[in-house]
Amino acid sequence: MVDASYNPFGKHYFKSPKVYSSELMRIVILRLGHRIQRDQRITTHVALTARALGAEGMLLDSDDSGIEKSLVEAGARWGGSFYVKRITSWKSEIKKWKEAGGKVIHLTMYGINLPDAIPEINTMALMIVVGAEKVPPEIYGLADWNIGVGNQPHSEVAALAITLDRLQAASGKDALRSQFPGGELEIIPRRSGKEVKGR
Ligand code: SAM
């Protein structure tokens, strides 16, 4: 999934996130441990949240086609190019990502607290791993950073949203101002009522 032309040793690589342009940052989510019946709703929310806050796509370690279908529908309606790709080997996806120069964050309540980790994150291509009930223990060793969004248990949706917001803020971008070109409809923000226009 990493662009073969991506050069980790490019001129921005060693700069602090505050310095480089976040326009160049790629963020892909890896969803592990999805159970087809039980996790459909929350995995859809992980993907919708990732899309809304500026990630480019989500790799889903499951053969559940329903998530992809929902996100294709969301994209057709509301724009953007977010993708969901079903994968069969999460380890080989991590390996490929790292070989292409990307780095990996694993979100876990046992990790170093996000505000302490942010200054260390100096990469232009991030894979963010979020689990369902349990994650395979190897992920702790494969990740470049095991990060807690606070060190209390909560939700993968909340953990991802806060992480995306803080990462983008550290690189000078507002995750809530992500752009979604194309699509059939656009919301016109209103103090009261709903306004939606066709594009
Ligand atoms: N025991 C798990 C853990 O290691 O964080 C909690 C399981 S929780 C139901 C599912 C997912 O939510 C986890 O795999 C993790 O990605 C995310 N998560 C929950 N709380 C978190 C926190 N405080 N910090 C970071 N991620 C969290």
- The least confident of 19-33, 120-134, 138-152 is 19-33
Q: Is the pLDDT of residue 174 over 60?
A: yes
Question: How high is the pLDDT of residue 20?
Answer: 44
Which superfamily, per CATH, for 25-198? SPOUT methyltransferase, trefoil knot domain (3.40.1280.10)
| 159-162 contacts, C-beta under 8 A, 24 or more apart | 159/107, 159/130, 160/29, 160/46, 160/49, 160/50, 160/53, 160/107, 160/128, 160/130, 161/49, 161/53, 162/114
Any atom of ligand 1 within 6 Å of the Cβ of 170: no
- What is the distance between the alpha carbons of residues 20 and 172, in angstroms, rounded to a whole number? 8
- What is the distance between the alpha carbons of residues 34 and 58, in angstroms, rounded to a whole number? 12
Span from the CA of 22 to the centroid of ligand 1 (angstroms)? 26
**Strand blocks (E) in 71-184:** 83-86, 103-113, 125-130, 145-148
CB 31 within 8 A of CB 138: no
Any atom of ligand 1 within 6 Å of the Cβ of 135: yes
Structure tokens at 191: 């103090």
Q: How confident is the model at residue 4 (pLDDT cuts 50, 70, 90)?
A: very low
Q: Is the pLDDT of residue 24 over 90?
A: no
Residue 129 alpha carbon, nearest atom of ligand 1: 16
Among 73, 59, 77, 50, which residue's Cα sits nearest to residue 157? Answer: 50
Q: What is the DSSP letter of 15?
A: S
State the average pLDDT over residues 186-194: 97
Residue 32 alpha carbon, nearest atom of ligand 1: 14
| DSSP per residue, 24-54 | G-EEEEEE-S--TTTSHHHHHHHHHHHHHTT
Among 154, 159, 102, which residue's Cα sits nearest to residue 130? Answer: 159
Domain residue spans in the chain?
25-198
Helix (H) or strand (E) holding 198: strand 196-198
Span from the CA of 183 to the centroid of ligand 1 (angstroms)? 33
Structure tokens at 90: 């999460």
Q: Is the pLDDT of residue 162 over 70?
A: yes
Any atom of ligand 1 within 6 Å of the Cβ of 30: no
State the average pLDDT over residues 33-39: 95
Any atom of ligand 1 within 6 Å of the Cβ of 27: no
The residue nearest atom 15 of ligand 1, judged by CA position, is 108
Question: How high is the pLDDT of residue 133?
Answer: 83
Task: Tell me phi and psi for residue 101, to 5 degrees.
Answer: 100, 0
Average pLDDT value for the chain? 90
Looking at per-residue pLDDT, the higher value among 122 and 83 belongs to: 83
Q: How confident is the model at residue 9 (pLDDT cuts 50, 70, 90)?
A: very low
